[in-house]
Amino acid sequence: MFLMRDTKERGGDSAALAVMRAVHDQPGVERASLPAGLGLASGFVAETVARLVAQELLIEGPAARTGGRGRPTTTLHPHPRGPLVITAAIAHETWRLAVVEVGGTEVSRIQHSHERDATQVLTAIEASLRAARRRHGSRVRAIAIAVPGTVSGNKLVQAANLDWHDVDLADLWSHDREPRPILVGNDATFAAVAESRRGVAVGAEAVLHLYMDAGVGGAVIDHGHLVSGAGGTAGEFGHVPFGDPGLRCRCGAYGCWNTTLDGFALSRLLAAPPPRDEVSYMRAVIGRAKQAVNLASEGSRDLYAVTELARSVGRGTAGLVNAFDPDLVTLGGVAAELLEVAEDAMHRAYLAGLMQHRITPPPRIVAAMLGDDAPLIGGAEEAMATVLSDDGLRRWVDRGANRQSL
């Protein structure tokens, strides 16, 4: 389901597709830079651009500066009536929805908080999708929905922190006359896509992204390809048995990594009652630990407990780095906050768990940069990948022909 493009295979793509992807990656790219960048003759690029302008996919604008020899060149931008995607992200306390054009710019965005009532949330999102469809018509080419749980096909199998089970999200986009792809993905997976396309991991060869809220999920993106597994559920790293084999995880298995680093693990370390909302609870404890660091106060229980979690993240990351051989590790959500508060402890545990040959130098661990927006942005990228494909562009052009014949 998550087919990612591979720049190494660009030779098989059409020139139109190569130009569109260049503009998507870098809106405002100079036309004069494309022949060398894409390995195409400049006359052919000019013809291709003219066709894409006529097809309402691109517009040409004046250059910010003149070309190398002082000759005028133009810049390429998404067409103001060009294709759009809708991306929605359900998080444990909010949901967001954005309409996004080629190049990744948001045309509009809404955000609402919620009380985890599935019917209420899904009804509200469905109404917003319908409104976007009314407003933008067939310019909308694909829809992506990020959810904080395990996804199989278009179904949310389980979202422990929302207490939602077996929700078919394809129902959100029903009664559509046009066949438009709807992609449902795990939020951590979409966040990984976002970081590799628009965030801190742009340019990395292989990225391990870990996203932590009520447990750890994530993805490996290997040379632009998302490692998605046969059923699209790869990346459930929190359920690797790096934890205590005596503890049962909410997934039903024993000894999952999550049992050592979720909100319940934190409350056990603090000898406190189990939290009602574990993500808010974790953020509150981490906030107090941060204060303890800033005030250099000795003997903070919060700092001790948070440091234990950071060690567990470091140790587990080492295991995953040994297995997947990434050149960069990105940490999102609560994991990024642990890195900030207890970087030394995390790093020591990470180095201790790495195979010796990986240590010189070890793959860097960095905080993700897109924050809570990452699942929304990654969804837009995945949806746009279906538009910026040979098939997607063909369907866009056919839509133009159908519209004119009506």
> In this complex, which beta carbon is closest to Zn ion, that of residue 38 or of residue 253?
253
Classify residue 398 by its DSSP letter: H
Structure-token pair, residue 182: 């709807």
Helix (H, G, I), strand (E, B) or coil at 19: helix
Binding mask 229-248 for Zn ion (x = CB under 5 A): ----------x---------
> In this complex, which beta carbon is closest to Zn ion, that of residue 213 or of residue 302?
213
Q: Give min distance, CB of 153 to Zn ion, in A.
A: 21
Please state, in angstroms and as integers, the Cα–Cα distance from residue 37 to each residue in 8, 45, 72, 128, 326, following that order. 13, 11, 18, 40, 27
b/e string for 330-356 if b means 16 or more Cβ within 10 A?
A: bbbbbbbbbbbbbeebbbebbeebbee
Task: Using CB under 5 A, count the residues that bind Zn ion.
Answer: 5
Structure-token pair, residue 14: 């059409």
> In this complex, which beta carbon is closest to Zn ion, that of residue 251 or of residue 369?
251
> In this complex, which beta carbon is closest to Zn ion, that of residue 144 or of residue 256?
256
> In this complex, which beta carbon is closest to Zn ion, that of residue 110 or of residue 247?
247
Pseudo-torsion of CA 344, 350, 352, 358, nearest 10°?
-120
Q: Give min distance, CB of 333 to Zn ion, in A.
A: 18
> In this complex, which beta carbon is closest to Zn ion, that of residue 110 or of residue 253?
253
> In this complex, which beta carbon is closest to Zn ion, that of residue 214 or of residue 256?
256
Whose tokens are 């060398």? That residue is: 36
Q: Give min distance, CB of 150 to Zn ion, in A.
A: 10
Q: Give min distance, CB of 241 to Zn ion, in A.
A: 8
What's the burial of 38, exposed, middle or buried (CB within 10 Å: 0-12/13-18/19+)? middle
Binding mask 53-92 for Zn ion (x = CB under 5 A): ----------------------------------------
Describe the crossing of helices 42-54 and 15-25 by its angle, rounded to 10 degrees.
80
Cα–Cα nearest to 28, from 56, 67, 61: 61
Kindly give the residue spans of alpha helices, DSSP state H, lying in 28-80: 34-38, 42-54
Binding mask 187-226 for Zn ion (x = CB under 5 A): ----------------------------------------
Tell me which amino acid residue 59 is: I
Q: Give min distance, CB of 323 to Zn ion, in A.
A: 17
Q: Which of residues 245-284 bind Zn ion (CB under 5 A)?
A: 249, 251, 253, 256
Q: Does 334 bind Zn ion (CB under 5 A)?
A: no
Q: How many residues does the chain have?
A: 406
Q: What whole-number distance in Å separates Cα of residue 389 and Cα of residue 141?
A: 12
| 163 conformational bin, left if phi > 0, alpha if psi -120 to 50, beta if neither | left
Q: Give min distance, CB of 90 to Zn ion, in A.
A: 21
Residue 248 φ/ψ, nearest 5 degrees = -95, 135
> In this complex, which beta carbon is closest to Zn ion, that of residue 38 or of residue 251?
251
Q: Give min distance, CB of 170 to Zn ion, in A.
A: 26
Q: Give min distance, CB of 247 to Zn ion, in A.
A: 10
Q: Give min distance, CB of 38 to Zn ion, in A.
A: 45
Classify residue 400 by its DSSP letter: H
> In this complex, which beta carbon is closest to Zn ion, that of residue 39 or of residue 229?
229
What's the burial of 377, exposed, middle or buried (CB within 10 Å: 0-12/13-18/19+)? buried
Which residues of this chain interact with Zn ion, rule CB under 5 A?
239, 249, 251, 253, 256
